[in-house]
Amino acid sequence: MTHSQAARDIDTSRPHSARMYDYYLGGKDHFEVDKQAAERVAEAYPAIFVCARENRAFMHRATRVLAREHGIRQWLDIGTGIPTEPNLHQVAQSVVPDARVVYADNDPLVLKYAERLMRSSAEGRTTYLEADVNDPESLLSAPELAEVLDLGRPVALSLNALMHFVTDAQDPYGIVRRLLDALPSGSALALSHCTPDFDAATWQKVTDIYTTAGTPVQFRSREDVARFFDGLELLDPGIAVGHRWRPDATEGDAPTDAEVSLWTGVGIKP
């Protein structure tokens, strides 16, 4: 699909989760319908902007930790979303210039802006492929992936704020297991996932808004999020609220757990 084809395929008649997330982050790559839906979420859950920001910050920290402390040089980032700098490859290549990153998403709007994801360091490589996490076989067999990643060497599987868009009926745990099965020992899973654990009533409202907009969601408990890491060796501090996973030294007041409402973790495949 060309970028012009992608632009024609963008459905602006109803909100899209990636464009709503762009709005939460203060981006400009969304439409009025996305803004309206995002503002309905913000009315129910005013801290959605905090949640989105902390999700992004977790991705940055997890990427740096895997690069610096665990020798990871390859990433497979699924559910990439609309590019927002610094993107994952920029964070990774700031630590290890030869890092290689494959981005995957099934949103035509992400494809439209994919050139932002291709600005690799001279030593490293990046690419983007159109793929759906619900079809892991097609994703793993994509020639673009094989051109950039060596699946014989450790790969970090990055699933940030993605799996709550995969309901139990779609076999989320089976999908993650299939992806991890394709990766060798020493690979990693970095995952973040919204949760109703701290304010169930509010998150039910958020669920209703997304479902009404045509995007089924399933926000999960800490116990259910931990299941994604079965068989992996969790890095300290284990499954933690986003801002509590290896926080950087910051000034000012930290957000509350209820504001963040995001379980995060990083595990290494034995």
For residue range 187-242, list pLDDT tens digits in order.
999 999 999 999 999 999 999 999 998 999 999 999 999 999 999 999 999 999 99
pLDDT of residue 9: 63
Confidence bin at 2 (pLDDT 50/70/90): very low
- Mean pLDDT of the 172-197 span: 98
Give the range among 16-30, 156-170, 218-232 with minimum mean pLDDT: 16-30
**pLDDT value of residue 209:** 93
Predicted confidence at residue 121, as pLDDT, reads: 86
Whether 136 shows a pLDDT value over 70: the answer reads yes
pLDDT at 40 over 90: yes
Identify whether the C-beta of residue 1 lies closer than 8 Å to the C-beta of residue 60.
Answer: no
- pLDDT of 56 > 60? The answer is yes
In this model, does residue 185 exceed pLDDT 60? yes
Task: Supply the pLDDT for residue 5.
Answer: 41
d(CA 131, CA 149): 16
Q: What is the pLDDT of residue 3?
A: 41
Q: Are 111 and 6 in contact, with CB atoms under 8 Å apart? A: yes
pLDDT of res. 8:
43
Mean pLDDT of 93-122: 87
CA angle 112, 116, 117 (to 5 degrees): 100
* pLDDT surpassing 80 at residue 69: yes
Kindly report the pTM of this predicted structure.
0.92
pLDDT at 118 exceeding the cut of 90:
no
The pLDDT, as a whole number, for residue 1 is: 38
Q: Encoding tokens for residue 99?
A: 């890092």
Percentage of the chain modeled with pLDDT above 70: 95
pLDDT tops 50 at residue 6 = no
Query: Is 90 exceeded by the pLDDT of residue 95?
Result: yes
pLDDT at 18: 85
Long-range interactions of 240-249: CB distance < 8 A, separation 24+ = 240/264, 240/265, 242/51, 242/54, 242/55, 242/57, 242/58, 242/192, 243/54, 243/57, 243/58, 245/58, 245/61, 245/62, 246/61, 246/62, 246/65, 247/61, 248/57, 248/61
Mean of all residue pLDDT scores within the chain: 92
| Res 41: pLDDT | 96
Judge whether residue 45 has pLDDT over 60.
yes
Confidence of residue 251 (pLDDT cuts 50, 70, 90): low
Whether the per-residue pLDDT at 261 is higher than 50: the answer is yes
Per-residue pLDDT, averaged over 82-88, amounts to 88
